[in-house]
Structure 1
């Protein structure tokens, strides 16, 4: 075989059976390859036909509401212009027109390992603003991996992102992130650091050019305070003070990441909490990388040994992860990380027009520490973070990249005292694995966690022109409570042999509620369903097929975001190279906001080209009825029950429902129908 060069197009029609190509309508499209180093040995074992959820839901909008706009975006191929790689999002929250914009960084990242951008952020003068958004604009060309990026201001990581892969194309992308919680950092001179580790040489030629633009908004605030509920509800989204959780010997002009489990003790003193503090929240960035990038596909070692699965490919510590937050030695919160799939992940061909959910904006996660305020005021406590596998063990493979910022709200003229009250915590997990035939491993894993922390707080204050201080003049005594629940389930089947396969179905759900005297002041809930099928093919040699359905739902008191992706791709491994083949991906995006209205967007891509992109925006909040979007992939993986629209038990297992094999398939079906709570095996 002649030597292939990075980004070359390969003729898959010679490798795939001609009749299959005709049957499925494959054709030469955009093909490229990437180095096999991270995933290819993992991909050699891929998934049995089990079935992907019809995951993409969109909202049926009542006809009585006036349509503000409906846009069908033109799909035009412009010669020699960069291809735009989309990260689907809305413009919410809508703060109106910016009062000012500021280019805060323009930089080319070449050989940037250990060589981040380091600059000085200069605050705007003479501009009143209350909210800030950051827009990232980037471009690259040639050949390059996906890269992880981190934006630090004043030593605090405020945005974690990743890059698109060019695949021998000229590409560009942009994304906007609301960073209003960190507005206080934009009001003063600060160190600005952008870490984007990149390598450029003869093989990997992609220099990544990045611009970072700050957009400032001035939004009127409501200051009418009649009750303690109003008092907390009217607190600004912007924290008064931001405390980065990093070693004291690391300067703000240096990037920093905790790496777990290398850094087995992620801990720092909290000695900057003042007596006028009224709320404390920790904002945690946590993402699995290297051996932990695909943690949700991992098999616990004792089960993998039953089938002789190599630990370097299938992990050793199972498919569940929690990031645990401690104050001293007391559990303060459990974080369920979202399984981000970067543009080089699973099958790169899936993401060559639309990136995976949250790939441009890797989420951070919040835990309310206000119930620990009486202790924190003594300035002797420590905050500690660990990553757990959810099975009673803090061990994981390498590595988790972690940062955290403590967000503090202070009110001038107010003093706080209080005491912690008894709370509650519960934890349960189950994990079973068994051979279902000589070459098939089944694994069913679940974990449930709940936590409640409480404090009685006593506020005293003087007016000092601050309505919050004026309200506290009468002395306010309240009970502040943080309550959270999380449930995670994972069902897997791994088939070993000449045509290996792996099927994964996961459900992640949970909620967090901050309440004052039993009235909620801040509520979040989330759901991350995921179904993944990877299957090795007989033709071509070392070819594999991937199907994926996944979603991200995040709801608060004032907003609701539901998005889903459904895709399929074929790839091939030649030597140590990873070639992308035909692919299709469809994403629906629905967001509703009390302030901004309702937004729906539908984007479809095939073989690296956007073939459909439309959106509609309604003026007002709509309590819509969610219905299943009944689209199909070009080739269905499902055996569907018309009544429930979820996979049926395959015929080979229908007579074995009393066996462990039957338990797996019935369990997978129940997971899709009823969610993760049923998994009490």
Structure 2
């Protein structure tokens, strides 16, 4: 069975964490700056990188695979297994024997979560916490929720029964640990309690033996409504296997329950959680809507004494919509029809909409998640992309709708996904009613009830929607023979949503307001007759909820730069080159329904006598990679370099558009991988360096064969991200499509 690391909250990356500099994100094509302490080491690494990659590729021979460069996981794990104070720095420089490469540890860089003993709690024995009668009622305990191998599991989710443990608890942290080996695509996974989705994640692409392993820790305290009573647990990880794609996913899911008195501004767990889903839990099915094939609509009634209501949306594109941000305008889908083929359209913009009784109540402009097989697979080994292991949900405050929703009648909630259509008979650009296939969406409503049976009343809501205002520009250039050679287009969009009402609830009367201000820009260039593509995307948003007794504010920015080139030789050999920069800035102030991250540092915050009004997260991930596949489709390989800088902290002034105005660092990591091996890793906790690792790159040019093998790409992967092809469902990056 899959190895289980201690469920109590070692850092979410299980391998070491990283550093980050506060001068703002730079979207130039250079690696971001690092701290002075590690600059000389890092310069050496970068100086040698070009030589390594060139030597590696020139020695590539599909008949004789190359010898392994070692993983650092053994050293890292042994370090984690020793008690470590915040004033201790651990350093290492090592070459591991080539013959003994351990399982490759994949990870998503993230800040620590709160465990029973803080963000880095002992013990490090992997046995978890006691669930027997030998422990005191107030001691933490662990429950194994799932041990399951997802082999040929498409349409066959794991189904189990959860029973609350006997220990006392007010917080819950899950540990998801997976091992896999062989060849396999990345797969999407959704976890449900009955009909309600509670977590969305995805898999890393495995290597040849000895394979890979990853562990992700997830704070699940917001679902106390479910944890306190028996539940049907459904975990849907649709995998397909055959003689070529041999990788299964051996997964273990464990929950640790404990008591911790945490004084942050996060909202207390909701009294009721209502799913917006296909509601297939009773028949042991997964309950996501698949758009556009299905209508994502539920009709429900509210209790009449609700004093706060928040809707959360979980949505991401699959199949033809996985790389929605790389699509072209609908008017340009045939621009390279004679060379690259028909492209996917409806623009590189997507809007996820929440409608209540047919009226717009709020929107999500989705984060452009890139899964571990996306763009070039070697970009993501072992450092996976932003949110790949933990797809973040977006919350929309619907408290202004309570005068309507508490009237005793049923009301309709719907989720839609829209793109842009600029190909109509007139010159107007409109939001579409549908998109390409497909989007997986669910929703849920968190409700907090007032005391007693007092009915919530009021006036409203008053809905004021501005936009979206849409600006498009495009230009096509041709070569001397009249063939389309380049396409340049810009997409700029803005939107404002304001919902207001007056609420009378639980003896409190006041104004309830939900506002959203969003902007989007995507500057795109397709060149070389459609075989090269650049997208430079930025999404910026500010959401604000003000209600009687509660408030919530979040500011977010999603920058993405992707430069990719595809080519095919006369022999049919395929090569893909890419430079990918992902970014995320996120600030949260007030009563978020989800943990903000400050919980893990409650003890440090109290000791420093700081009181933070908002959490601040900023990360920047920069990678370059190459992929090669032989014309017969029998062999594929890749190499790449990825650096990620991650910083998390608090602000005493609250969420602001100027992230640098008042930032107090609590956690920091800077990590670099070259050809599947960590070569640089530095971590700080509450301003103190706790880990510093450097492995000088090998000078002989050898790379581990098992780290350079990837799932094969189809012919369609040699086209731009917006390429349609004969059957877009066969795209190998689509996690659960049947070919």
Residue in structure 1 matching 2:511, options 479, 486, 490: 479
Q: Deviations over 1:195-241 (max 9, x none)?
A: 1111233222212111111122323366xxxxxxxxxx978431111
Please say if 1:138 is aligned against 2:178: yes
Which shifted more, 312-321 or 132-141? 312-321
1:10-41 deviation per Cα after TM superposition (whole angstroms, max 9, x unaligned): xxxxxxxxxx98696442599899xxxxxxxx
1:180 equivalent to 2:221? Answer: yes
In the alignment, what sits opposite 1:207?
Answer: 248
Q: Match for residue 450 of structure 1?
A: 496
**Aligned match of 1:388:** 418
Conserved? CA contact 2:311–2:444, under 8 Å: yes
The answer as to 2:451 corresponding to 1:412 is yes
Partner of 2:147: 106
How far off is 1:412 after superposition?
3.2
Partners in 1 of 2:312 and 2:448 — Cα distance? 13
Q: TM-score, normalised by structure 2?
A: 0.68
Per the alignment, residue 584 of structure 2 pairs with 552
Post-superposition offset of 1:249: 6.3
Secondary structure of 1:259 counterpart: strand
Per the alignment, do residues 76 and 119 of structure 1 end up closer, same or farther by CA in structure 2, a change over 3 Å counting? farther
Q: Which moved more, 1:94-103 or 1:158-167?
A: 94-103
What is the CA–CA distance in structure 2 between the aligned matches of 1:26 and 1:539, rounded to whole Å? 21
Counterpart position of 2:169: 129
Q: Given the superposition, is the C-alpha separation of residues 205 and 598 from structure 1 closer, same or farther in structure 2, using an over 3 Å criterion?
A: same
Quote the Cα distance in structure 1 between the aligned partners of 2:668 and 2:647.
5
Residue equivalent to 2:81: none
Structure 1 pair 312–185 and aligned structure 2 pair: CA distance change class (3 A): farther
Secondary structure at 1:145 match in 2: coil
Distance 1:426 1:407 in 2: 27
Q: Give deviations 1:334-381, integer Å, cap 9, x for gaps.
A: 101111111111100111211111100112111111111111112321
Q: Give yes or no for contact 1:513–1:520 (8 Å, CA) kept in 2.
A: no
Q: Secondary structure at the match of 2:580?
A: strand
Q: Distance in 2 between matches of 1:73 and 1:178?
A: 31
Partner of 1:604, secondary structure, is: strand
Distance in 1, Cα, partners of 2:574 & 2:249: 32
> Equivalent residue for 2:561?
531
Change in 2 beyond 3 A, CA 1:21/1:542: farther
- Asked whether 1:425 is paired with 2:465, we answer yes
**Matched residue, 1:572:** 628
Residue number in structure 2 paired with 1:625: none
Larger displacement relative to structure 2 (500-509 or 302-311): 302-311
> Is the aligned partner of 1:218 residue 2:259?
yes
Query: In the TM superposition, what is the alpha-carbon distance from 1:422 to its structure 2 partner?
Result: 2.4
Instruction: Name which of structure 1's ranges 585-594 and 318-327 shifts more when overlaid on structure 2.
Output: 585-594
**Does the Cα contact within 8 Å between 1:288 and 1:399 map onto a contact in 2?**
yes
> For the residues of structure 2 that align with 1:317 and 1:113, how far apart are their CA atoms?
29
Which whole-Å CA distance do the structure 2 matches of 1:368 and 1:123 have between them? 30
C-alpha separation in 2, matches of 1:270 and 1:417: 18
Given that 1:414 and 1:459 are in contact with CA atoms closer than 8 Å, whether structure 2 keeps it comes out as no
Deviations 1:483-529 (A, max 9, x none): 111111111111143x8311110001101111136x97111111110
How far apart are the structure 1 equivalents of 2:474 and 2:235?
A: 44
Kindly state the Cα deviation for residue 109 of structure 1 after the two structures are TM-superposed: 1.0
Which consecutive residues of structure 2, in runs of 5 or more, have no partner in the other structure? 1-48, 63-84, 119-138, 421-429, 480-484, 590-613, 653-663, 689-739
Query: Residue 619 of structure 2 aligns with which residue?
Result: 563
Shift of 1:153: 1.3
Aligned in 2, Cα 1:21/1:87: closer, same or farther, shift over 3 Å? Answer: closer
CA deviation string 1:544-592 (max 9, x = no partner): 3100111011110231111111010111243374833221000111111
Write the mapping of 1:248-287 to structure 2, written as runs, cut at 5 A: 251=282, 253-263=284-294, 265-271=295-301, 273-287=302-316
1:333 maps onto 2:365 in alignment: no
**Contact kept in structure 1, 2:403 and 2:461, CA below 8 Å:** no
CA distance in 1, matches of 2:92, 2:200: 28
Are residue 89 (structure 1) and residue 110 (structure 2) matched? yes
Work out the CA distance in 2 between the residues paired with 1:149 and 1:576: 32
Mapped contact 2:497–2:517 kept (Cα < 8 A): yes
Aligned residues of 1:72 and 1:615 also touching (Cα < 8 A): no
| Contact kept in structure 2, 1:307 and 1:441, CA below 8 Å | no
Structure 1 position 440, deviation (Å): 0.6
- For residues 142 and 228 of structure 2, the distance between their equivalents in structure 1, rounded to whole angstroms, comes to 14
What is the distance in 1 between the residues matched to 2:418 and 2:394? 16
**Alpha-carbon deviations, 1:610-640, whole Å to 9, x = none?**
11122101179xxxxxxxxxxxxxxxxxxxx
Aligned to 2:10: none
Deviation larger for 208-217 or 530-539: 530-539
SS in 1 for 2:285: coil
Change (3 A) 1:594 1:209: farther
The superposition leaves residues 398-430 of structure 1 with CA deviations (integer Å, 9 ceiling, x where unpaired) of 000011111111233262221214242111112
The structural deviation recorded for 1:447 is 1.3
The question of whether the paired residues in 2 share the 8 Å contact of 1:484 and 1:510 is answered with yes
Structure 2 residue matching 1:182: 3-state secondary structure: helix
Distance 1:301 1:493 in 2: 15
Cα contact 1:269–1:380 (8 A) shared by 2 = yes
CA shift in 2, pair 1:357/1:488, >3 Å: same
1:11 aligns with: none
Residues 31, 314 of structure 1: alpha-carbon distance in 2 compared, 3 angstrom cutoff = farther
- Count residues in correspondence: 540
Q: 1:182 to 1:619 in 2, by over 3 A?
A: farther
- Mark the CA change 1:569 to 1:524 in structure 2 (over 3 Å): closer, same or farther: same
CA distance, structure 1, for counterparts of residue 675 and residue 266 of structure 2: 48
Match in the other structure for 2:520: 488
Q: What secondary structure is seen at the aligned counterpart in 2 of 1:251?
A: helix
| Distance verdict in 2 for CA 1:95–1:418, change over 3 Å | farther
Shift of 1:311: 9.5
Aligned counterparts of 1:23 and 1:599: Cα–Cα separation in 2: 32
Q: Please tell me whether the aligned partners of residues 70 and 616 of structure 1 are also in contact (alpha carbons under 8 angstroms).
A: no
Tell me if 1:355 matches 2:384: yes
CA contact (8 A) 1:317 1:395 kept: no
Between the aligned partners of 2:314 and 2:583, the Cα distance in structure 1 is 20
- Give yes or no for the alignment of 1:584 onto 2:641: yes
Uncovered stretches (5+) of structure 1, i.e. residues with no partner:
1-19, 34-65, 223-232, 461-474, 621-681
Please give the alpha-carbon distance, in whole angstroms, between the structure 2 residues aligned to 1:450 and 1:524: 15
Q: Is the Cα–Cα contact under 8 Å of residues 147 and 198 in structure 1 kept in the other structure?
A: yes
Give me the TM-score of the superposition, normalised by structure 1: 0.74
Shift of 1:91: 0.9
Shift, 1:76, TM fit: 6.6
Secondary structure at the counterpart of residue 172 of structure 1: strand
Alignment of 1:1-16 (within 5 A): none
C-alpha distance in 2 between matches for 1:388 and 1:208:
34
Q: Distance in 1 between matches of 2:106 and 2:351?
A: 31
